[in-house]
Structure 1
Amino acid sequence: MRGIRGAISVENNTQEAIGAATKRLLRAVMDENRLKTEDIISVTFTLTKDLNAAFPAACAREMPGWNYIPMLCAVEVDVPGSLNRVLRVLVLADIKAGQREVKHIYLDKAEKLRPDLKD
């Protein structure tokens, strides 16, 4: 089992923007790590406090095969000066990849969160 991290910035606090960002991030995590939905054990989402228009888990359930995956949403710690409007994810997956082979995905403004992972 491996944990796969990711984050994406969300332009607006709307259901549509949160839904689109959630799906884009999950598709990127799945594609880059060659995952199938059957590989996923659980998913935890966090949102900065300025994103409250939708539950990312509910948005993810709209994707084919995602309705049986256990998912949880929470509010991210509000550290002063941290990046606003960010959706983060931790995907636990049953995969054989080594820790250094896992591809963590940081998109858009959220790339700033993990500059050490840039190619």
Structure 2
Amino acid sequence: MGVRGIRGAITVKEDTSTEILEATEELVHEIIGQNQILPDHVAAIFITVTTDLVSDFPAKAIRKIGGWELVPLMCSTEIPVLESLSKCIRVMMLVNTDLNPDEVNHVFLREAKKLRPDLADINALTSN
């Protein structure tokens, strides 16, 4: 068993606590479901937000998921690159798994699909 990084991202329409927490929960549940992840297999989760999201910590949403309260989480801000995708939450989940790199399902939702269309296309093929 090795450690794999599983990526994900989602956007919100507005910078509100409710939108940030609901979007983070949606994204993490999708990553968990597509990759059959148990909290005991997670080494850590790194979460970044664009600098226009300041209303809440996305990690709060993950801590509310049953069994995930003790998973190490860290929030940070993204590098503010000009003309980059706004109102975006990104996740890097480090997971102990037997999955090969080509078996990992990275999840990009809403406008975040633009970040990695190559991975969005692969996931669309494997989830159908």
Q: What interval of TM-score do these two structures reach, taking the shorter chain for normalisation? A: over 0.9
Q: Provide structure 2 residue ranges, at least 5 long, that are not aligned to the other structure.
A: 123-128
What SS is found at the alignment partner of 1:94?
Answer: strand
- Tell me the residue number matched to 2:23: 21
Provide TM-score, normalisation by structure 1.
0.97
Distance, in Å, in 2 between the alignment partners of 1:65 and 1:10 is 26
Q: CA deviation at 1:28?
A: 0.4
How far apart, CA to CA, are the structure 2 residues paired with 1:66 and 1:35?
A: 11
1:105 matched to which residue of 2? 107
Distance of 1:73 and 1:51 partners within structure 2:
12
Q: 1:53 aligns with which of 52, 55, 63?
A: 55
The superposition leaves residues 34-61 of structure 1 with CA deviations (integer Å, 9 ceiling, x where unpaired) of 1111111100000000001010112211
Q: Flag structure 1 segments of 5+ consecutive residues without an equivalent.
A: none
Number of equivalent positions: 119
SS of match in other structure, 1:16: helix
Structure 1 counterpart of 2:63, one-letter code? R
**C-alpha displacement of 1:14:** 0.7
Which position in structure 2 is the counterpart of 1:8?
10
In 2, Cα distance between equivalents of 1:37 and 1:58: 15
TM-score of the pair, normalised by structure 2? 0.90
**SS state at 1:13 partner:** coil
One-letter code aligned to 1:59: A
Segments ≥4 residues shifted beyond 4 Å: none
Offset at residue 11 of structure 1 (A): 1.4
After superposition, what is the alpha-carbon deviation per residue over 1:43-86, rounded to whole angstroms, capped at 9, x for unaligned? 00000000010101122111111110000000001100101000
- Matched residue type, 2:103: E
RMSD of aligned residue pairs (Cα, Å):
0.7
